[in-house]
Amino acid sequence: MRRGNYGYFLLVLLIFNLFFLSCSSQNKNQVLIWHWMTDRNQAFQKLAKEYEKETGVKVRFEIFFPPNVYAQKVQAAAQAGTLPDIFGILGEKEYLASFVRRNLVVDFSPYFEEKPAWKESFISQALEVSSFSKDNIYRVKAGIYGIPIDFMNIQFLYNKELFKKAGLDPNYPPRNFAEFIAQAKLLHQKLGVEGFICGWGETWLMYSLALDFAFNIMGEKKVLDTFRGKYSYNSPGWVKVFSLFRQMKEAGIIPEGILTMANKEAEEIFANQRAAFSFNGSWCVNVYQKLNPQLNYAPCLIPEVSSAYPRKIWGGAGASFMVNAHSPRKEAAVKFLEWLTQKKQQDFLIRVTNNLPAIKEAPDNLGLVLKEFRKGIDYVTHPNLWPVYEKPKVIEKFTQQLQKVILGEITPAEAAAAVEKVKLRIIKKD
């Protein structure tokens, strides 16, 4: 490089520094919202414009993606005290509890006391996801710290078109586990499609299905007692849970790569009619709509394993917004969330994003599949709603053992025993 070039380079550097780089724009008179929901971003922008037209208050939605980076951003902003007016918290309930402990999020309880109708408008489970009751295990002040904007649950899905092709009644999904295995096997053998597909590479999906089965086999009390350390993973109920996964494998209805499959991949396979059954959340309606608008499918509850206890499915608030407790625009932020969760706005969000609404009032424009999903509300449960939670190390061991059972490396009894061993070790340590 010649000497003249260095001078030029330094000059450019100086100009950029002085005139361009250090300007930071921040409008003090607008409500700023951070979120990670790419599927809802356009809808949010429209709603923000609508709100400004109605009230004169400016609202700005800023999206940050992917979700794990968004979560880091929120964490960093919490540390530095630069959280926006409204934001979402991703992660376990303990993580939300840490925000409550540091007094970073607004408790909506006083607002709900003032406007009980607003609180009553929500599906209770959706609200409970971000709520803490008195004497909660997280040891934080009781209150409601998030406003749900939609609702979700995870169910079985079956392809009606493939059912027809295989000579099965498309309005007759399996009611029990034996029927499910038989139908999936028939569809696999007759049509050459996968019997069942799911993104079990994301182990939480496998774990949630296992817990659904556990609730049905043993009932809620025994499952939660297991987490408390009062009921053994060695019990026949848990062994049965492991054996159901083995049965699926032995029936040949799950593909080889299922244990490393991302849910996105599983969604593509189901959307392209290459699998008869799937296990997925209500968010899938939007995904399938994009991948294959012609897909003819329906959700159904998990196939019943036992009639002794009611079936349960994972569900709750799909996404919730929190208000920054230190924001000077706190009141404006709460008002915006109240507006966002009114029926008109919820109807709009459903139409655009194909998610279930967080409010009880039946929406005008719910599609057939979402209507079926909505029926699952009465069966919903979620770790965030339980008074006790299982230790992450036990969950990790549990999913590892499930994988080994599916691969045929160990028996269900051996898997249960290994999980119990870890559980006992943790109890002893505590």
Partner 1 sequence: MDKAKKAFLLTLMHTFLISVAVSCIFPLVWMIMSSFKTYQEFIQIPADINTWRGFLHWFLPHKFNLANYISAWRDGNLGMYFLNSVIYTFLAVSGIVFVSSLAGFAFSRLEFWGRDFIFHLFLAAMMIPIPAGFVPLFVLLTRIHLVNTRLGYILAMINVGLSLSIYLFKTFFDNLPRDLEDAARIDGCSKLRIWWNVAFPLAAPATGVVIIFNALNVWNEFILAVIIFADKSKLPLQAGLMEFAGEHIGNEPLIMAGLTIAALPIIVVYLLMQKHIIKGITAGAMVG
* C-beta contacts of 420-424 below 8 A and 24+ residues apart: 420/232, 420/233, 420/234, 422/393, 422/394, 422/397, 423/226, 423/229, 423/233, 423/391, 423/394
**Tokens encoding 43:** 């809808």
Q: Least distance (Å) from partner 1 to the CB of residue 82?
A: 6
Out of 8, 11, 49, 65, name the contact with partner 1 by CB under 8 A.
65
The sheet with strand 86-87 has its strands ordered as 58-63, 30-35, 86-87, 320-323, 147-148
CA angle 349, 69, 25 (to 5 degrees): 80
User: Per rule CB under 8 A, is residue 75 in the interface with partner 1?
Assistant: yes
Interface residue with partner 1 among 228, 230, 290, 375 (CB under 8 A) is 290
Cross-strand bridge partners of residue 157: 278, 299
Q: Are 131 and 143 in contact (CB under 8 A)?
A: yes
The answer to whether 70 contacts partner 1 (rule: CB under 8 A) is yes
Determine, following the binding rule CB under 8 A, whether residue 41 of this chain makes contact with partner 1: yes
* Least CB distance to partner 1 at residue 26 (A): 7
265 makes contact with partner 1 (CB under 8 A): no
Give the one residue of 33, 223, 276, 287 binding partner 1; rule: CB under 8 A. Answer: 287
339, amino acid identity? W
Contact between 369 and 297 (Cβ < 8 Å): yes
Q: What angle is formed at CA 279 by the lines to CA 421 and CA 368, rounded to 5 degrees?
A: 150
Phi, psi of 275 (to 5 degrees): -145, 145
Contacts (CB under 8 A) with partner 1, residues 12-31: 13, 16-17, 20-26
Smaller CB distance to partner 1: residue 156 or 270?
Answer: 270
Q: Which is nearer to partner 1, 26 or 171 (CB)?
A: 26
Q: Does 38 bind partner 1 (CB under 8 A)?
A: yes
CB of residue 17 to partner 1, shortest distance in Å: 6
The mark string for 83-122 relative to partner 1 (x by CB under 8 A, - otherwise) is: -x--------------------------------------
From the list 115-123, 187-195, 268-276, 332-340, the region that binds partner 1 by CB under 8 A is 268-276
How many of the other CB atoms lie within 10 Å of CB of 351? 14
Q: How far is the CB of 86 from partner 1 (least distance, A)?
A: 13
Binding residues (CB under 8 A) for partner 1: these are 1, 3, 6, 9, 13, 16-17, 20-26, 32, 34, 38-39, 41, 62-66, 69-70, 72-73, 75-77, 79-82, 84, 264, 267-268, 271-272, 287, 290-291
